Amino acid sequence: MRYPDLIAPVHRALVEAGIPDGAATWLAMLTGIVIVFTVMALLSKVLARLLFLTLKRMSARTESSFDDHLLRYRLHRYVARVVPLMASYNLVPIVFQGMAGWIPIVERLFHVFFIVLFVRIARAVLRAARDNSRDRAAFRDKPLDSYVQVITLIMYLVAGVLIFSQLTGQSALTFLTAMGAASAVLLLVFKDTIMGFVASIQISANDMVRVDDWIEMPKYGADGDVTEINLTTVKVRNWDNTITTVPTYALIVDSFKNWRGMTESGGRRIKRSILVKISSIRHLLPEELDHLRQVRLLRTYIDERVAEIARHNTEHHVDERLPINGRRLTNVGLYRKYIEMYISAHPGIHKGMSLMVRQLAPNEHGLPLEIYCFANNTGWTEYEGTMADIFDHLLAVNTFFHIEVFESPAADDVRMAMRSIAERKG
């Protein structure tokens, strides 16, 4: 179809209406543009609707959520614009036939539109693929946001170079040469992005942090689960439900603690002490040992230790009239052994990891008996429940061994002491 055949009637009507020929030519061209734009807009709407219904039907038939994500990111709208845009591009020489000088300019603008449209299509597909991957266990803890952002950034850079080349008529090499001259400024402006890009690669390659990892970074006030890893920041939801944002490169240059190893090992450490009042530590009398033999966990141990001690004292001719001579069982030693046996038999303790009860150096608060073991459930609530269950029991039975646990005096203790002193004076 030639130009006169397309809008000649419009041009002729305008001239007959008394409009100068030059103005009539412009108005005729604008009329052609409006007609083409209107037709192509309607075509785009129709195609978008057809694509939407097609994707909707596919989504209902397939178990994959990929097509659902494509719909959510409106891929059908972007794809529906490709055909009208190509048709409009082919009509440029016809619509602008009366003004041939405009044809190269308009064609370059269409090239820019094509570049932008294809970038938006690629971005929608990338985001849909990212969200679809999150639904799979193999990718759930991977920094997918960082990967998508890196690819998107590269697409934007390539698109920017191509758009510059189209608008200026210069080659892409010319643009890159100019960018090289301004590299110092660009490095300063995009410093965080560049550092984050490098850090994201290192974090991913070394598997340092994943989404849902529990990390601690006291420098940034972060102590909680990682919820998002992207190109420039890592979001951490702290245990008080606040959000801390940490620069991605900080995970490379600063130290942090990742609790993933604890979670994957299946054991969470319990390390807590019971403070024994030193003045309550003493040897056990024979009748007290007979009473403690009733404890199921200690019966065999007491018999073996009593026989061993008696044999040792006999062999070394120990004068047992004084308790200081020879070897004897102490209440704190037997209490420590009972704690070890009780923890070993507890169903909430991991049997394949370290377990010990040890004495630490005495201090102003007494003799610390430190329990060191691992709970077999790493969940916070279950872990605290296991630890509380153990110490509830151990603190309740300490008097059975004639042991006192240290605690700072409370108001009632002070009043009782003062009342006792007053009674003695009276």
Domain around 178: 173-264
How would you write 1-14 as a 3-class SS string? CCHHHHHHHHHHHH
Judgement on whether residues 136 and 181 belong to the same structural domain of the protein: no
Judgement on whether residues 95 and 108 belong to the same structural domain of the protein: yes
Per-residue pLDDT of the chain (426 residues; tens, 9 = 90+): 344 455 556 655 666 666 776 666 667 667 777 877 788 888 888 888 888 888 888 777 777 777 788 888 888 888 888 888 888 888 777 777 666 777 788 888 888 889 998 999 998 888 888 888 877 777 766 667 777 877 888 888 888 888 888 887 777 777 767 666 666 676 777 777 778 778 877 887 778 888 889 999 999 999 999 998 887 889 999 999 999 999 988 998 899 999 999 988 999 999 999 999 999 999 999 999 999 999 999 999 999 999 999 898 888 888 777 878 888 899 999 999 999 999 999 999 999 999 999 999 999 999 999 999 999 999 989 999 999 999 999 999 999 999 999 887 776 766 777 777 777 765
Judgement on whether residues 43 and 136 belong to the same structural domain of the protein: yes
Judgement on whether residues 227 and 356 belong to the same structural domain of the protein: no
Q: Is residue 402 part of a domain?
A: yes
pLDDT of residue 24: 64
Q: Is residue 111 part of a domain?
A: yes
Alpha-carbon distance 327 to 310, whole Å? Answer: 8
Do the Cβ atoms of 238 and 369 come closer than 8 Å? no
Alpha-carbon distance 305 to 320, whole Å? Answer: 17
| List of long-range contacts for 89-94, beta carbons under 8 Å, 24+ apart | 89/114, 91/36, 94/1, 94/2, 94/3, 94/6, 94/32
Q: Is residue 9 part of a domain?
A: yes
pLDDT of residue 268: 95
Q: Is residue 422 part of a domain?
A: no
- Residue 250 CB: number of other CB atoms within 10 A? 19
Q: Is residue 148 part of a domain?
A: no
Q: Is residue 298 part of a domain?
A: no
pLDDT of residue 181: 61
Judgement on whether residues 253 and 277 belong to the same structural domain of the protein: no
* CATH number for the domain that contains residue 194: 2.30.30.60
* CATH number for the domain that contains residue 394: 3.30.70.100
Judgement on whether residues 66 and 88 belong to the same structural domain of the protein: yes
pLDDT of residue 392: 96
Judgement on whether residues 272 and 337 belong to the same structural domain of the protein: yes
Judgement on whether residues 11 and 110 belong to the same structural domain of the protein: yes
Q: Is residue 113 part of a domain?
A: yes
Answer with the one of 210, 236, 264 that is the final residue of a domain: 264
The backbone region for 129, taken as left when phi is positive above 0, alpha when psi lies in -120 to 50, beta otherwise, is: alpha
Answer with the one of 94, 116, 140 that is the final residue of a domain: 140
Q: Is residue 299 part of a domain?
A: no
> How many domains does the structure of the chain reveal?
3
Judgement on whether residues 51 and 86 belong to the same structural domain of the protein: yes
pLDDT of residue 111: 87
Structure tokens at 255: 């130290």
Judgement on whether residues 94 and 223 belong to the same structural domain of the protein: no
